[in-house]
């Protein structure tokens, strides 16, 4: 595991693994980042407390693969056994942009739409983008390259830009 600073706003379960080449930027404003038991944060993943006051909670046995970016924004809650494929972006924040007399980068952020919530046993495909207000149900799959900004029910498969339902996971034999 990399030399992740152990400060009050950052907790990493002792059984979690964080690559030496991953980057975790703890908050200077008290935003909490927690990485659960058995989770793995691979090289070049970035977890950054920025863009709001939401916390980042990563459940147990999750895989945050290379080049994923998680910005705290309005908050991120990831359940257990979740796999984020390479290049997934989780961005629960939106810049304010209404005024023309002030550069967008200086206008702050829009009110939260609820952050990003990912249920247990979810697979998010490579390069997908999860925006503020996204809630992904248990067992769901998000296709590679999808842009999600809404509610994905349990066990549904969503893909496209904007993402929409493209299928449903099959039932287990005997269920």
CATH number, domain 10-168: 2.160.10.10
pLDDT, tens only, 32-51: 999 999 999 999 999 998 87
> Does the structure show a pLDDT above 90 at 150?
yes
Per the structure block, which two tokens stand in for 127? 């390069």
- Domain spans, the chain: 10-168
**Cα–Cα distance measured from residue 76 to residue 91, given in angstroms and rounded to the nearest whole number:** 9
95, 106 in Cβ contact below 8 A? no
- Res 2: pLDDT: 47
**Cα–Cα distance measured from residue 81 to residue 38, given in angstroms and rounded to the nearest whole number:** 9
pLDDT, tens only, 125-135: 999 999 999 99
Identify whether 95 is a catalytic site residue: yes
124, 84 in Cβ contact below 8 A? yes
- Considering the candidates 5, 30, 95, 165, report the single residue annotated as catalytic: 95
Averaged pLDDT for residues 46-66: 92
**Cα–Cα distance measured from residue 127 to residue 112, given in angstroms and rounded to the nearest whole number:** 23
pLDDT, tens only, 79-127: 999 999 999 999 999 999 999 999 999 998 898 999 999 999 999 999 9
The b-or-e profile of 60-82 (16+ CB within 10 A means b, else e) is bbbbbbebbbbbbbbbbbbbbbb
Q: Looking at residue 39, what DSSP letter applies?
A: -
């Amino acid at each position: 595991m990399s030399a992740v600073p152990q400060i009050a706003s950052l907790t990493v379960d002792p059984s979690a693994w964080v690559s030496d080449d991953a980057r975790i930027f703890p908050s200077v404003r008290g935003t909490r980042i927690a990485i659960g038991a058995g989770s793995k944060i691979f090289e070049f993943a970035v977890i950054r407390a920025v863009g709001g006051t939401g916390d980042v909670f990563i459940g147990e046995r999750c895989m945050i693969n290379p080049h994923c970016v998680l910005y705290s924004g309005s908050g991120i809650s990831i359940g257990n056994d979740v796999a984020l494929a390479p290049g997934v972006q989780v961005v629960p924040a939106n810049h304010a942009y209404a005024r023309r007399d002030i550069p967008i980068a200086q206008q702050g952020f829009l009110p939260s739409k609820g952050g990003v919530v990912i249920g247990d046993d979810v697979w998010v495909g490579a390069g997908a983008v999860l925006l503020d207000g996204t809630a992904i149900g248990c067992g769901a799959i998000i296709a590679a390259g999808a842009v999600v900004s809404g509610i994905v029910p349990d066990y549904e498969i969503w893909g496209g830009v904007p993402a929409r339902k493209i299928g449903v996971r099959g039932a287990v034999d005997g269920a």
